Amino acid sequence: MAVAEQDESTALLEQVNQARAINTPLQIRGGASKAWLGRSLRGTVIDTRSHCGIVNYDPTELVITARAGTRLADLTRVLQDNGQMLACEPPYTDDGATLGGMLAAGLSGPRRPWAGAVRDAVLGTRVITGLGLHLRFGGEVMKNVAGYDLSRLMAGSFGCLGLISEVSLKVLPIPRCQAHIALELDAHSALLKLGQWGQQPLPISAACHDGQVLRVRLEGGDGSVRAACERLGGEPFAPSWWQALNHQRLDFFQDPRPLWRLSLPNNTAYLELAGDQLLDWAGAQRWLKSDADPEHLRKVASAQGGHATCYSPGLTDSPFQPLPAALMHYHRQLKQRLDPQGIFNPGRMYAEV
């Protein structure tokens, strides 16, 4: 199936300029697969999905460039046909997620601690700015230190700094061999084991503990994966489990209590918190279903050197952990300089930007 292809950048630019002319905020929307994350938005919807298609892809360069509205499901299929993948494993690809939304939200899947985040794969972007200009930053080469790294700054900025119209990404070959093993362990022992394994050259590419079972994905050449399987033991399970984790379709996520994401240093011990926990990223990303006080969770996460994000809309006015005043000052400075009229997704991340 061919990927839909359409250059609508002129129309998008025009829409931005109209909004600037009448000083009206825009809410940028792709597949709306993550629209519930962050603060709620007002403003005219600007839909990027019509601006889609792969602009350039040469598998031997390990780089793909596509328009922001390209559906991730389409993009990953094209890569797959060439034996390649987005190593950062973005979530919600089944829910219509787009490339632009992937970069704007900056969310990465189970492979993140070993293969890097969305921001690590970004090589270049085209962005429609708050001054109504369509600009290009970075490029299609692995190494490029000309000018400031605006492309990576866009990763995780939730559209607050500009409208991402095109993205160039580094892609990687799909590993030749995969194995999936499950080990029955409690969370404390699982974290201890993961800590030890992390210091060894093992081909681990995902590690998640759901309360009872530690699931590990091994990826690499035949030899290393086989050797690691023999060493670590455990029972095999179906690889589709990782998609269910990444798309939050596991039973754990059906619990009606609010969902929190705790991002923590990878050697953080098991935290005794009210509610249920699911430990992903070898312990560096912990999902929590809990009625605990947001303030308390943030204090706990900060004390460990991490932070907490609320994934349940409406629970708190600041789903993202509030920033120290000095850092917020420079966030506001950046916002004012790049989007002086406050057109793009104002308030999506923080009320101040």
Residue type for position 206: A
Question: Measured from the CB of residue 29, what is the shortest distance to another protein in angstroms?
Answer: 20
* Contact status: 338 vs another protein (CB under 8 A): yes
Distances (CA, A) of 70 to 46, 50, 56, 134, 151: 15, 8, 13, 18, 18
Work out which of 161, 214, 278, 300 binds another protein, going by CB under 8 A. Answer: 161
Q: Which stretch binds another protein (CB under 8 A): 14-22, 153-161, 179-187, 233-241?
A: 153-161
Classified as helix, coil or strand, 207 is strand
Contact positions with another protein (CB under 8 A) in 27-66:
58-63
Specify the residue, 45 or 269, whose C-beta has the smaller distance to another protein: 269
* Contact status: 266 vs another protein (CB under 8 A): yes
Specify the residue, 256 or 324, whose C-beta has the smaller distance to another protein: 324
Tokens representing residue 77 in the block: 């299929």
Work out which of 92, 241, 281, 287 binds another protein, going by CB under 8 A. Answer: 281
Contact string 119-138 vs another protein (x = CB under 8 A): xx--------x-x-x-xxx-
Question: Measured from the CB of residue 256, what is the shortest distance to another protein in angstroms?
Answer: 26
Contact positions with another protein (CB under 8 A) in 224-253:
224, 226-227
Q: Which of 321, 272, 316, 312 is closest to 293 using CA atoms?
A: 316
* Contact status: 205 vs another protein (CB under 8 A): no
The answer to whether 165 touches 189, Cβ cutoff 8 Å, is no
* Contact status: 285 vs another protein (CB under 8 A): yes
Distances (CA, A) of 253 to 115, 191, 256: 25, 21, 8
Contact positions with another protein (CB under 8 A) in 294-333:
305-307, 309, 320-324, 326-331, 333
Specify the residue, 2 or 325, whose C-beta has the smaller distance to another protein: 325
Q: What share of the chain is helix, strand, coil (3-state, %, to 5)?
A: 30, 25, 45
Work out which of 83, 211, 236, 239 binds another protein, going by CB under 8 A. Answer: 83
Tokens representing residue 31 in the block: 């597949």
Question: Measured from the CB of residue 269, what is the shortest distance to another protein in angstroms?
Answer: 10
Extended strands (E) in the chain:
26-29, 44-47, 54-58, 63-67, 84-85, 122-128, 134-138, 163-170, 172-173, 177-184, 204-209, 213-220, 235-236, 259-263, 276-280, 285-289, 307-310
* Contact status: 180 vs another protein (CB under 8 A): no
Distance between CA atoms of 237 and 241, rounded to whole angstroms?
Answer: 8
**Residue whose tokens read 């040469």:** 58
Q: Which stretch binds another protein (CB under 8 A): 88-96, 146-154, 233-241, 242-250?
A: 146-154
Work out which of 147, 238, 251, 272 binds another protein, going by CB under 8 A. Answer: 147
Work out which of 21, 45, 141, 274 binds another protein, going by CB under 8 A. Answer: 141
